[in-house]
Structures are given as structure tokens and as C-alpha cells.
Structure 1
Amino acid sequence: MDPYLEVGLRSPGPDDQDTPDLECSICFSQFNNVFRTPKMLQCQHTFCLECLARMNVKSAKPDSIQCPLCRGLTPLPALGLPKLTTDPAVVSYLPAAMQRVYSIRFNRKKGKLQVKRPTDAAPSLPTVRSVSQSLDVGLPSPPEGDGERGDLEAGRGRRVRALLRVCRRPGCKASLLVSVVVMTVLLTGIIIFLKGHFSKRFKILSVK
């Protein structure tokens, strides 16, 4: 039986006190020792690594995690999200083959959790080949306001490039020149007309 299936967690006995929650309170999946490793925040609330990674890629503050229960902030360790404290109480309830927690890398830019192949794995433990090598958790959100500004700049750039491509054509260059001349003549005529019109109005008012 694959020990990574969501079965086989040790059921608490009648004498067990303060039994930890064996499911992540965000995704309601059972903890394991790979991507759903139980990670404890400074507020002592525990969530699976996968959910914390999904929260982190969407956060405007990637250097900390805000607890979804109490809203407390936990600064991330220097080596990243996977180095948060693993909840030993929860791990103690995992099957024997899952007591050893795998080392995981978190590549935030690519939105991936990746298993680091252990070099000292005991022969009795399942190999890393029995689990997925990586897990996509989503790409980081752009900084606030940058998304809309980036879309506007991209649209403006596309319009400018299209205009430049059109203007490179010989026929279009001639048409553009004619259009500029016609617009200049029209604007000059309008200015002269308005100037003459207002001059007449002033003369009439002066006579009165």
C-alpha cells in the first residue's frame, strides 16, 4: 500500500489527551511528510506546506505568512517557507514510513514546490520516486497596481508598433503627409475665422 495515500493515520486512543488535528484546516486534506507537511506558525496554528505556499505566491508580503485564523504574522526563515517548524505532534501520528519528513524546495518565482532527493534515505523508507517530484502552486501575483498599469502600457506599445509598421509603407507615408497638410490648413482656417468673428463682435460692442 502506498503510504502517501490519505489513509493510515494512527487513530487516537482513549487515553490520548490533546490530540492534534490531523487535517489541514485550509484544504481539509490529511497531513503527510511531503507537500502536505504540517508546518507550525509562530501563533502555534498548523497548516500544510502546500496551502502556505499557495498563500505566499498570492501575498504582497512574500517574506512573511499571515495566519488565516488569528491574522498573526510569521516571518519566514532565511532559507524559505519549507524551513518553517514542522509540527512534531502531528508527525508522530503519521504512519511509520512517513515519520521522516522529506526536504522540500520552494521556488516562488516559478510557483513550484520541489522534492530534494535525499542522499541518506534509509532502505526501509519509500523512495522519492513513489511521490511527485514537484507541485505547482500558482504564479506570484504582480505588485498592487502594476497589473493594470502593465496592461495599459502593453496595449499602448502594441498600438505604437502597429502605427509604425503602417507608416513604413510608401503609400501610407504619402497619405500621412497629405493628412497632416490638410489638417494644418483646416486648423489655420478655423483660427482665422474665429479671429475675424470675435473682432467684428468687439467692434459692434465698441460702437454701442
Structure 2
Amino acid sequence: SVIIPSTDLHPIPLPTQCSEENCPDLECAICFSQFNNVFRCPKMLQCKHTFCLECLARMNVKSAEPNAIQCPLCRSFTPLPSLGLPKLATDSDVLSYLPAAMQRVYSIRFLRSKGKLEVKRSTDGQRRWPRQSLTSLRSINRSLDVGIPSGSAEGHGQSRGTVCSLTSHPVCRALLLTSVVMMMVLLTGVIIFLLTYHR
């Protein structure tokens, strides 16, 4: 579980000038969690629908198309930037309604092969981040597991046979070996029975 800054633990009060008609949705339409400036950063697809980075990462690791995201609302595809999922456009309208401490978005990297989102460590942190942001950075986890990529998405799942993929797991390998031994014992028993019966 991810520990997030205390400002994210309570519902965000809507600004007084914000009416329900013109105020953006401050919750992700997939997980219904409130947006923040870390792993739940509001990312906008080309179709203008906005979802949190965490949900988009979870979708991407399970997708057979690792270089694009399909919008869960309108089903249109958004090609991913060359530098990866975190470089999708951040929805500045949503960001502007978040508390002041969340106005600056953390730099995140997405390690798809490991199924992880990570906060980048900055060597010049004092220059890049104000003191308030550095304090909140210490109160969050620096990485988040979003799931293991599917075999087909990595390009090797379909090329391997079913038996091959089963034997890559120790439990399956043990069951397969036990089944072979049992079949051999049974076959030996049948042969001995037939030889004895014919006498």
C-alpha cells in the first residue's frame, strides 16, 4: 500500500469559485480515488479523458499493446510518448484544483518489465523542489507495484508451448514429474500383471 501526503487523506474542498458545472472531476473514473501529484497524478489521453497514472500503468502491464493506452471510456487509442507512460500530458485543470502542496508533480519513472512505478531521486533536490515538497516526499513510498506484465505483451508468451510455460513454475514442474513417475509405475504394474497372468 502507498502512503501518501496527509493532504490527500481528506476530501479536497472545492474552491468557492468552482460550481459543479465547470469544476473538473477530482477523482479517477477507474479507481474513484482522488488525484494527487505522485502515483495518482491526473494524466490526460488524446481523447481528453483523464485517469490517474497508477490505473493507466495497471492497464498497460496487462495490455497486449505496450506502446499505447486504450481509453476505458471511449475505447480510442493514445500512443505512449517515447519517454514512457509518465510523460503523458498532465491535466492542468485538475491539478489547479488540488491543494497548493500538490501543485508540483513528482518525477515518476515506469518500469514496465518489473511492474513498478518509482519516484525518481533527484541529485539537485534542493534546487528542484521547495522545502514543503521535500518534506512531503519523505512521507510517501518511493515505489508502487502495479502488476506483472502479461506474457503475450512481452512477446514471448505465445511462442512458448503450453507445456513449456507450465514447466517454468516449480509447482507445475513437480506435478508434471509426479504424473510421469505415476504413469511409469502404473505401466510397469500392468506389464508385470500381464506376464504373470499369461503364465
TM over 0.5: yes
Gaps of 5+ in 2: 181-187, 192-199
Q: Percent identity?
A: 58
Verify the 8 A CA contact 2:109 2:120 in the aligned structure 1.
yes
TM-score for the superposition, normalised by structure 2 = 0.73
Q: Deviations over 1:68-126 (max 9, x none)?
A: 00001000000000000000011111111111100000000000000012422111323
d(CA) in 2 for partners of 1:123 and 1:62?
37
Q: 2:87 matched to which residue of 1?
A: 83
The count of corresponding residues between Structure 1 and Structure 2 is 168
Q: Counterparts in 2 of 1:122-201, with a 5 A limit?
A: 122-125=130-133, 126-143=135-152, 146=157, 149-154=160-165
Q: 1:143 to 1:94 in 2, by over 3 A?
A: same
Shift of 1:20: 0.3
Q: CA RMSD in A?
A: 3.2
Q: 1:112 matched to which residue of 2?
A: 116
**Relative contact order, higher structure (CA 8 A, sep 6+):** 2
Verify the 8 A CA contact 1:110 1:139 in the aligned structure 2.
yes
Q: Counterparts in 2 of 1:34-113, with a 5 A limit?
A: 34-113=38-117
Gaps of 5+ in 1: 164-174, 180-208
Question: Which structure's CA Rg is the greater one?
Answer: 1
Of 127-136 and 65-74, more deviation after overlay is shown by 127-136
Shift of 1:155: 5.5
Q: 1:93 to 1:14 in 2, by over 3 A?
A: closer
Q: Tell me which of 1, 26, 37 is aligned to 2:30.
A: 26
Verify the 8 A CA contact 2:8 2:34 in the aligned structure 1.
no
TM-score for the superposition, normalised by structure 1 = 0.70
Verify the 8 A CA contact 2:68 2:80 in the aligned structure 1.
yes
